[in-house]
Structure 1
Amino acid sequence: MKRSLISRRNFIHRSIGLVLTLWAGQSLAQTRWAGMKLDITFEFVGNGFRYRPPYVAVWLEDAQGLPVRTLAVWFEQSRKGPRWLNELRRWYRSNEPTEAVSGPTRMPGRYTLSWDGKDDKGNLVNQGDYYVCVELVREHGPYELFREKVILAQTPFKRSYNVAGELKEVSLSYDRQG
C-alpha cells in the first residue's frame, strides 16, 4: 500500500492556514480602503428664459467599464414617469434609479458627492483603476459626459478639470476620511 505524503490532519491544517491567510490579506486591503474617500465636485451653469434644469447622473465604473456605484441621479419625476431618463445614455444602459440616490433636478450651481469605496450593495471594493463619470443632459439642450480614469490606492490626490459646455468644472479629491 502506498502512503500519502500529506496526512489528513496535515492537509486540514494547511487548508485552514491558506484560507485564513487569504482572508486576512483581503481584510487588510479593505481596511486600507475603508480609511479613504473620493470627493467629486462638479459645477454646471445655465441661464436663459424658460431654463430647464438638466438631468444628472454621477457614478463610478470599474476598469472594464461596468458600473460599481451610482452616487446620484437627478431627474424630473412627474405623473408621466421618468421621461427623458434614457437620455442619460451611458448611465441608463446598465443602471436603474433607486430612491437612495435619485432625486429631483437641481438648478445650476456647485455640488459635491462622496464615495466611501463601497459598491451599490454596500460591499467594500478592491483598490485599483476606476472611472469617475458625470453625465449631464438637458431637454432641448446639450448632452455632456465627463469620464476620467483614476487610480485609487494609498496615495491621496487632488485634480481639477475644466470642461467646455454647461458642465463647467469637475474636481476630484482622494484622501483619508475625517
Structure 2
Amino acid sequence: MQRSFISRRNFIYRTTGLLLTLWAGRSLAQARWADMKLDITFEFVGGSGRYRPPYVAVWLENAQGLPVRTLAVWFEQSRKGPRWLNELRRWYRSNELTEAVSGPTRRPGRYTLSFDGKDDKGNLVSQGDYYVCVELVREHGPYELFREKVTLAQTSFNRSFNLAGELKEVSLSYDRQA
C-alpha cells in the first residue's frame, strides 16, 4: 500500500494558492460592483382631507423572489407598536424590521434610494437578475406594489414608469458611480 506524502512546503504552497484563488475571486466580485450603483427614485402624491402619510417599503429580491436587501421601511410607530406594518404584505411576509433602514413616514414627494450591490448582511451579491420592489399602503387608503425585473451587470440603463395610483412614478437608473 502506497501512501501519499505531502511535505510542509507543498502544503503551504497549496494552501497559499487556494487562499489567493478565493481572495482573487472575491476581489473580482467586488470590482464588478465597485463602480456601479442602482438608484431607485419614486414619487407619491397625497390625498385630501385628513391625510395620513403612507407606509413605504423599498427592497430588492433575487430572481427566485427572496429578499436580498431592504433599502427603506417608513412607518409610524405608536405606543401600541407598528400597528399597520403588516399591511406592507409582500415585504412583511419575508423580511425583518431593522432600525438601520426603518424610519418615520414621509410626506408626499420625490425620494431616491441607492443599492450598492450588498445584501442585508453587507456581503456583495453576484450580478444578475433582481426585482426592484416599492410597496406603499396607507391607513384607510390604497395598497400599491411596484415590482420590476432588472438585470444588474456591466450595462447601464435608465427606465421610468408612470403609474396611476398614489405612487405616481418610479425611475431606475443603473450606472457607474460619479
Provide the rounded CA distance (Å) in 2 between the counterparts of 1:18 and 1:77: 50
Q: Provide the C-alpha distance between the structure 2 equivalents of 1:73 and 1:29, rounded to a whole number of angstroms.
A: 28
Structure 1 residue 109: deviation in Å?
A: 0.8
What's the counterpart of residue 99 of structure 2?
Answer: 99
Counterpart amino acid of 1:90? Answer: R
Q: How does 1:1-80 map to 2 (within 5 A)?
A: 1-2=1-2, 8-9=6-7, 12=11, 13-14=13-14, 16-80=16-80
> Which deviates the most, 18-27 or 134-143?
18-27
Q: Which amino acid aligns with 1:154?
A: Q
One-letter code aligned to 1:88: L
Instruction: Report SS of the residue matched to 2:94.
Output: coil
Which runs of no fewer than 5 residues in structure 1 stay unpaired? none
Write the deviation string for residues 103-144 of structure 1: whole angstroms up to 9, x where unpaired.
Answer: 111111111011111111112211111111000001111111
Task: Tell me the residue number matched to 2:82.
Answer: 82
Which stretch shifts more, 83-92 or 116-125?
Answer: 116-125
Are positions 1:159 and 2:159 aligned together? yes
Task: Give 3-state SS (helix, strand or coil) of 1:93's partner.
Answer: helix
TM-score for both structures, normalised by structure 2 = 0.91
1:6-65 CA distance string (max 9 Å, x none): x52496334542442243123212222121111000011122111111100001111111
- Residue 77 of structure 1 deviates from its aligned partner by 1.3
CA contact (8 A) 2:29 2:124 kept: no
Judge which range, 20-29 or 45-54, deviates more.
20-29
Report the number of matched residues. 176
**Take 2:64 and 2:10, find their aligned partners in 1: how far apart are those partners?**
38
> Alpha-carbon deviation of 1:156?
1.1
* Aligned equivalents of 2:42, 2:3: Cα separation in 1: 68
Percent identity for Structure 1 against Structure 2: 84
Q: Which aligned runs of 4 or more in structure 1 are off by greater than 6 angstroms?
A: none
Gaps of at least 5 residues in structure 2 are none
Given residue 92 of structure 1, which amino acid in structure 2 is its aligned partner? Y
Match of 2:120 in 1: 120
Partner of 1:142: 142
Could you say what the CA RMSD is over the residues aligned between the two structures, in angstroms?
A: 1.7
Q: Distance in 2 between matches of 1:133 and 1:165?
A: 16
